[in-house]
Amino acid sequence: MDYLAEYERWLASDALTAEERAELEAIRGNDEAIKDRFFAPLSFGTAGLRGVLGTGLYRMNRFTVGAATQGLANLILQNGEAAMKRGVSIAYDSRHMSPEFAQLAASILSANGIQVLLYDELRPTPELSFAIRYYGTIAGINITASHNPKEYNGYKVYWEDGAQLPPKEADVVAAEMGALDFFKDVKIADFEEMKAKGLIKMLDWQTDEAYLKQVQAVAVNPDCIRQVADEFKLVYTPFHGAGYRLVPEILRRIGYKHILCVPEQMVIDGDFPTVVSPNPENKEGFNIAIEIAKKNDVDLIIGTDPDADRTGIVLRNKEGEYVTLSGNQVGVLLIDYIITARKLTGTMPAHPAVLKSVVSTEMARSAAEKNGVACFDTFTGFKFLAEKIKQFEATGSHQYLFAFEESYGYLAGDYARDKDAVTASMLIAEMAAYYRTKGMTLYDAMQTMYEKYGYYCEQTISITMPGVSGLERMKELMVELRETPLTEVAGDKVAYARDYQPGVRTCVATGATEQMELSGQNVLYYELESGTSFIIRPSGTEPKVKVYIMAKGSNMAEAQARVEALAAAAKEIVK
């Protein structure tokens, strides 16, 4: 694409406002800045769009959102009048332009004769997935960039099962989007007029009630909360986002009496002023919550990201220090707890299973299988976990108990098909109460997990590659690694190499290959002779390459040493 010509085409359009034109004029003569905004359109994948807010082809703005929505409208029109009447559910988070983009999407869909169900204010991502299934809409749109920095926003599209858009439908939307003129081919109706005609209907507290009823039904053994409710306190923060109302509400409904919310972070603000990044993976975001916990003698802090689909926790250890648990650790704790509680309450199904992504800890498999529960891997991304759940439903082979990713995403129950921080917060709080009845904290419980299932240690390294050059380098890196395969990492020889693009596993010693169940993803997975896993995967939503290291040792020190050695090597391999 001729980015300079595209830049001039945008400037020449009478569709731009004075402010948008001034934004583009401000970069005139700056070739790098122009190229960064116009070298290509934002790619529409199965997760939709995600990018930095601003004017330009490679930015999140009313034109890119408009084109994506018209592309989705064209897909729905191809599915006929019944699909149009079923309509589209729309939700949004606390980010800048989220309400505006949601209203724009509603105006475009209704202009195309498609029914719209739009939430009246910000809601958790999983409640969007729930609404699709509950109201039977053909699709859903969520305006969110999850836990990305404040400069970002995104546009996630879901299909009728409540999971993210499947590849076939995503390809149609991408093709339709690529064929239209952003400035001329998008139909837009007056929002208030479409509301008056009934083509846009607003979702309110009644949908919240239906959703919360389903969430509460996922609780396994809430009786343990009643045993400790008088004295158990916890701290909660929504990081200025969509969990601010429903997470404290579900905790109250299951019996908690002392929920201390972080006042500064209960304020809805797309600037996320109290944190460097609104990501529950980062301990610094919990600084204010930790101070509240110290003052109130609290062991457990729960935090959810801006769209309330990811959950992080902070605990007090034996020394009285507040420490974080990783997504892997929380996943293992929840697997063990759910299995234990199901057995205690007599609710274990005949063929139980847990699900995890290929880059999530193998400790989860140990925890499941040692308790007689099957464990299945999927690719990274909750849509793949949702596909496996759908497969179980179709075949009746298993009933899933719990699904998780190392990136702090968890799901239980059948009401939604995306990770849910509301349900995860509830289950974590229930689990904490259970261990309190045993005289233990969740920190104590994690130490017990290592004794039961082995000493596992993991680390995820994210190497940012921003801009046009970064995208090119990400592609080059994966080509180089396939052309010149790794044979060792930090002196640890590669025993088997898995390339998930063709879905082939190769024995390095003999060259023998075997076909794997999973294929079609740009992931390289190295099984090292020590039993450690070394995985390289370009992110599908952010300009970075991720390296996942998963080790097991005879004790924690040994496992950590292996991870540290491989982490140092990773920074030399991925650059």
* Residues belonging to the active site: 146
Phi, psi of 260 (to 5 degrees): -95, 105
Name beta bridge partners: 504: 499, 515
Q: Which residues of 164-201 are buried (b: 16+ CB within 10 A; e: fewer)?
A: bbeeebbebbbebbeeeebbeebeebebeebbeeebbe
What is the Cα 468 distance to its own chain's centre?
A: 24
Q: Is 22 exposed, middle or buried (0-12, 13-18, 19+ CB in 10 A)?
A: exposed
- C-alpha span between 107 and 66 (Å, rounded): 10
Tokens (6 digits) for 149: 């920095």
- C-alpha span between 58 and 60 (Å, rounded): 7
C-beta of residue 361 within 8 angstroms of C-beta of residue 535:
no
Q: Which residue has the tokens 């919360």?
A: 212
Q: Is 266 exposed, middle or buried (0-12, 13-18, 19+ CB in 10 A)?
A: middle
Tokens (6 digits) for 315: 């605990």
Q: What is the dihedral of CA 68, 69, 75, 80, to 10 degrees?
A: -170
What is the 8-class DSSP label of residue 361?
A: -
- C-alpha span between 241 and 147 (Å, rounded): 10
C-beta of residue 89 within 8 angstroms of C-beta of residue 203:
yes
C-beta of residue 504 within 8 angstroms of C-beta of residue 518:
no
- C-alpha span between 243 and 246 (Å, rounded): 6
